Structure 1
Amino acid sequence: MIKLSWALIAQHVDEWTGDDTAQGAAVLEARVGAGVDASRKEPETIQQWRTDFLAPVVESLRTEGTAALARGEFWSKAAGPFLACASPAS
């Protein structure tokens, strides 16, 4: 079981708890992506935000985060105004 939390600085904080980091990464990408899409920003700005901030954090969770959590360790990654962290849940 893992607990995944994330924050968009000064905007939104959320969390998810589940058994699988792949599912957690999908939830993270979907929820944060939906918030960014609803932000009323220009489409180019939204795409840049997804590329520069969301994608690197999600990819890190899928790779480094999965490995760290399998070892029972904590994982975190920040990109610009976006921070995510995960830990084994008890």
Structure 2
Amino acid sequence: MIKLSWALVAEHVDEWTGDNLAQGAAALEAKVGTAVESSGMKPETVRQWRTDFLAPVVESLRKEGAAALARGESWSKAAGPFLACASPAIRPEAR
């Protein structure tokens, strides 16, 4: 089980919990993308934001994050005003 959480400074905080890191990365990309697109920024600024901030964090999650989680460690990455963190989560039935 993985817990993934993220924050856009002064804008948006959210999280995802599940077993599949690929699904988590997709949820991160979709939810942050939606928040950025609905922020009122110009379309060219949204594209640049996705390229400069969102894409590097999602790519790092898929690579370095996956490796860290496989070792039972946490992962985090920040890019500009965007921070994402992932950690192994304890299953509710294991408590």
- Decide: shared fold, TM above 0.5: yes
The alignment's TM-score, normalised by the length of structure 2, stands at 0.93
Q: Which residue of 2 aligns with 1:54?
A: 54
Aligned to 2:87, what secondary structure does the other structure show?
A: strand
Aligned to 2:85, what secondary structure does the other structure show?
A: strand
Equivalent pairs counted in the alignment come to 90
Gaps of 5+ in 1: none
The alignment's TM-score, normalised by the length of structure 1, stands at 0.98
Gaps of 5+ in 2: 91-95
Q: Which residue of 2 aligns with 1:13?
A: 13
For 1:72-83, what aligned pairs fall within 5 Å after superposition?
Answer: 72-83=72-83
For 1:63-74, what aligned pairs fall within 5 Å after superposition?
Answer: 63-74=63-74
Which runs of at least 4 in structure 1 moved beyond 6 Å after TM superposition?
none
CA-based RMSD: 0.5
Q: Once the two structures are aligned, what percentage of the paired residues are identical?
A: 79
Q: Which residue of 1 aligns with 2:93?
A: none
Whichever of the two has the greater Rg, that structure is 2
Aligned to 1:73, what secondary structure does the other structure show?
A: coil
